[in-house]
Amino acid sequence: MSELETFRAEARAWLEENCPAEMRTPAKGDEDVCWGGRNFVFQSDAQKLWLERCVAKGYTVPDWPKAYGGAGLSPQETKVLRQEMAKLGCRSPLNSFGIWMLGPALLKFGTEEQKVHYMGQIARGEIRWCQGYSEPGSGSDLVSMQTFGEDKGDHWVVNGQKIWTSYADKADWIFCLVRTDKTNKYQGISFLLFDMQTPGVTTKPIKLISGNSPFCETFFDNVVVPKHQIVGELNRGWDVAKYLLGHEREMISGMGGDGGVTSIGAAMKAVLSEEPVLRAQMALFDVENLTFRAHGERFMDEWKTGKAHPAYSNLMKYVGTELNKKRNELVMSIGGTQALEWESERSNGGSKARNWLRTKANSIEGGTSEVMLNVVSKRILEMPGA
């Protein structure tokens, strides 16, 4: 047996032994997902136990180094672990912007102290992070942002406003782009970390068309941030942000379809068999879904071996989000009038309609589809022009 197959057998045995039965069923909704943090209330003992066991094993962040709370697995081992988790239907023990976004940025740009401190907290699910990038006047044109940190010697005083801050009202800390030099557009931004309980920080949830409020407006009024809470160099926060946006696009690109290759068509057979045109649409969607899974697998294999173009995640983000929107349109069409119900128990509180509406943001957040196409065209295809 190869080393990797030995690892697969061990991982499977560990999962079978340690993943509670309740954690081998799909999460019922966003509130059923473990996000960790100071204020998180576990939905069940099983959820708490599953997190604790994974933390002890380093499996909340299996590919991070052990010194920072991970299990130190190789990319191949991590892939095998995820495959085995998928086979058993294991839920992710911990969802977190810290894992997906801040962690990778710290690993590349952070000091050793920052890695040990912040990455450790993330791995253990102790601190829940949010991201402060967009501002009311700075969406696709992010670099025009105005939130300003005034240099006060050993600290900055931050004033300004962020928008579309995911779960800012539930987060403990924020990683935030702050202008520290008004004379230099790109090289005048710093990447700061601070506690959301710092005096002067307030949040206000934004109600979306789905009726839910996953995003907030976040206001900073004379917020004091000590100088050691900067990641990377002063005024070079844009480099960190760009790197991190790559990770965000990679993460969002994974949203197409259902996280796997299982067709949603089989469960809808009764409707589809009577509507040949809808069945045909579903069939073509399944072709695209299988394609996207294979594409994602190939991209990850090339990414890990350094063969992928550095801008490739922009393409995956575009394809994956457009696919997810298409999928939810089909779910609504197949669901018919029942999918229109907004509150009933029968409709699980209107989950289909709310999810459908939520997906419309996929191709806006983290860079719009149009911006992604611009980036692919210029950086990968090397089309001319500004």
Shortest distance (Å) from residue 279 CB to another protein: 6
Is 380 among the residues that bind another protein (CB under 8 A)?
yes
Shortest distance (Å) from residue 103 CB to another protein: 25
Shortest distance (Å) from residue 303 CB to another protein: 10
Would you give the binding string for another protein spanning residues 65-84, x where CB under 8 A is met? --------------------
The smaller minimum CB distance to another protein, of residues 198 and 369, is found at: 369
**What does the block give as tokens for 385?**
């022009």
Is 87 among the residues that bind another protein (CB under 8 A)?
no
The smaller minimum CB distance to another protein, of residues 122 and 334, is found at: 334
Taking the C-alpha atoms of residue 120 and residue 182, their distance in angstroms, rounded to an integer, is 34
Shortest distance (Å) from residue 266 CB to another protein: 3
Shortest distance (Å) from residue 79 CB to another protein: 9
Task: Tell whether the torsion through CA atoms of 322, 323, 324 and 328 is positive or negative.
Answer: positive
Which residues inside 247-306 make contact with another protein, applying CB under 8 A?
A: 263, 265-266, 268-269, 272-273, 279-280, 282-284, 286-288, 290-292, 294-295, 297-299, 301-302, 305
Give me the helices (H) in the chain, please. Answer: 3-18, 45-57, 75-88, 97, 103-109, 112-114, 120-123, 237-253, 269-274, 276-304, 312-335, 351-359, 369-375
| Pairing mode of beta strands 173-179, 129-132 | parallel
- Cβ–Cβ < 8 Å for 222, 288: no
Is 185 among the residues that bind another protein (CB under 8 A)?
no
Residues 6 or more apart from 210 whose CB is under 8 A from it?
353, 354, 355, 357, 358
- Helix crossing, 237-253 with 312-335: angle to 10°? 40
The smaller minimum CB distance to another protein, of residues 183 and 305, is found at: 305
Give me the helices (H) in 72-111, please. Answer: 75-88, 97, 103-109
Hey, what amino acid is at 382? Answer: E
The smaller minimum CB distance to another protein, of residues 143 and 264, is found at: 264
Shortest distance (Å) from residue 273 CB to another protein: 7
The smaller minimum CB distance to another protein, of residues 208 and 364, is found at: 364
Taking the C-alpha atoms of residue 158 and residue 180, their distance in angstroms, rounded to an integer, is 9
Would you give the binding string for another protein spanning residues 310-349, x where CB under 8 A is met? -----x--xx------------------------------
Give me the helices (H) in 119-163, please. Answer: 120-123
Binding site for another protein (CB under 8 A): 263, 265-266, 268-269, 272-273, 279-280, 282-284, 286-288, 290-292, 294-295, 297-299, 301-302, 305, 307, 315, 318-319, 370, 372-374, 376-378, 380-385
